Amino acid sequence: MEKKPHYVKRDFPPREASSLFLVLLLVAVLLLNALLYLYLNNLYSSSGRAETDPSLCPFGYFKLGPVKNCSPWLSCEAINREVRKLKCVGEGAVKKVFLSEWKENKVVLSQLTNAELKEDFLHGLKMLKALQSRYVVRLLGYCEKQFTILTEYHPLGSLRGLNETLHIPKYKGMNTWHRRLMLAIDYVSVIRYLHSSPLGTLVMCDSNDLDKVLSQYLLTSDFHILVNDLDALPLVNKSGGRLVKCGHRELRGEFVAPEQRWPYGEDMPFDDDLMPPYDEKTDIWKIPDVSNFFLGHVEGSDIVRLHLFDIHAACKKKDPAERPSAQEILDTYRKVLTLLIREAAMPGTREML
């Protein structure tokens, strides 16, 4: 009679089973890290934060919406003939802004309102032309003799309305620590671009309070940030001894950097001629306050603040030379994002290892 094969169940010794489990866990962690690397690499490259953008046209050209071909910037004649004003949507010290229409596309038409500030207006136009990139609102045309600028329209408007936008049902899914930190990364990316721009080191001078800062930037429909107002963007050249002053009036308050405040006390009246100039590190001082606005008070935002505490403390150093560069801040923000995404994806992994 043929004997049936006899199978014996083998139990792994506890130590062997534990080693096998650790190996599998390490493989899972490595795989997760690889996936995170690919995800974050794609996130940074597609987030609109790179200087080079294949969708951008050559200098002097633009494309709008689904159109594939680039068109030359609109001239005075084309703007007068083809652009139709719809309504006024804003007015500042320098210009009035109109929602307008060009070939069935919504666009923004900006016109000078105060002739005494025409130099500021033309400086803003010069910066807008020279700095066209993924960080800057798209220029569609201009007319210097009529002091008119035509730019791309972004329906979500300026960053002043961010919290209201995030409470709209359509955008509530964006109201997370992750998306808010990405906006902070976008903001620091813009500052880093301005500090290392093709023109040199530029200082964002229209930034004397949080509301003023937020008004200078637009929120795109895919939740990225573009700088929109470049009227007050002076150039710093420390090696050449060229520093700046943001206006000719006294600046007050904790939001502006210490070096921007009158240094000679209340007993001595402000005198612009005696006010010392400063450099781009004034922008660095303001980053923690702006980022704090971006982070808001959603679940997880306090954890993000905790991770950013050291770099933000460094931004608030009284000596401008001791503050980090915008690139160092950007690197830290990205590392924190990577770390927190990894921890959220595999909670408890550190303790298990």
Q: In angstroms, how far is the first alpha carbon of the chain from the final one?
A: 53
pLDDT tier at 239, thresholds 50, 70, 90: confident
For the chain, give every residue range classified as CATH 3.30.200.20.
70-152
Name the strand (E) or helix (H) holding 187. helix 177-195
For residue 285, give the nearest of 243, 329, 242 by alpha carbon: 329
Report pLDDT for 352.
Answer: 46
The single-letter DSSP state of residue 232 is S
pLDDT digits (tens, 9 = 90+) for 251-293: 999 999 999 999 999 999 999 999 999 999 999 999 999 999 9
pLDDT tier at 93, thresholds 50, 70, 90: confident
Mean pLDDT computed over 21-46: 57
User: Does the pLDDT of residue 91 top 80, yes or no?
Assistant: yes
Fold for domain 70-152? Answer: Phosphorylase Kinase; domain 1 (3.30.200)
Fold for domain 157-344? Answer: Transferase(Phosphotransferase); domain 1 (1.10.510)
Q: Are 262 and 157 in contact (CB under 8 A)?
A: no
pLDDT tier at 32, thresholds 50, 70, 90: low
Across the chain, mean pLDDT equals 88
* Whole-number Å distance between alpha carbons of 230 and 121: 9
pLDDT tier at 18, thresholds 50, 70, 90: low
Q: Are 158 and 137 in contact (CB under 8 A)?
A: no
* Whole-number Å distance between alpha carbons of 60 and 136: 15
Query: Phi-psi region for residue 6, left (φ > 0), alpha (ψ -120 to 50) or beta?
Result: beta
Q: Kindly report the backbone phi and psi dihedral angles of residue 256, in degrees, each rounded to the nearest multiple of 5, phi listed first.
A: -75, 155
Q: Are 233 and 205 in contact (CB under 8 A)?
A: yes
User: Does the pLDDT of residue 346 top 90, yes or no?
Assistant: no
Q: List the single range of 58-67, 81-90, 177-186, 193-202 with lowest mean pLDDT.
A: 58-67
Helix, strand or coil, per DSSP, at residue 333:
helix
For the chain, give every residue range classified as CATH 1.10.510.10.
157-344
User: Does the pLDDT of residue 142 top 90, yes or no?
Assistant: yes
Beta carbons within 8 Å of 114's beta carbon, 6+ residues apart: 93, 94
Report pLDDT for 336.
Answer: 97
pTM: 0.84
* Whole-number Å distance between alpha carbons of 76 and 78: 6
* Whole-number Å distance between alpha carbons of 302 and 319: 27
Report pLDDT for 304.
Answer: 98
Report pLDDT for 30.
Answer: 58
Q: Which has the higher per-residue pLDDT, 25 or 44?
A: 25
Report pLDDT for 47.
Answer: 43
- Kindly list the distances between the CA atom of residue 225 and the CA atoms of 48, 80, 134, in Å, as whole numbers in the listed order: 9, 30, 9
Beta carbons within 8 Å of 165's beta carbon, 6+ residues apart: 156, 171, 219
Q: Are 192 and 326 in contact (CB under 8 A)?
A: yes
pLDDT digits (tens, 9 = 90+) for 163-203: 999 999 999 999 999 999 999 999 999 999 999 999 999 99
Beta carbons within 8 Å of 83's beta carbon, 6+ residues apart: 74, 100, 101, 102, 107, 109, 150
Report pLDDT for 75.
Answer: 97
Q: Are 51 and 133 in contact (CB under 8 A)?
A: yes
What length does the chain have? 353
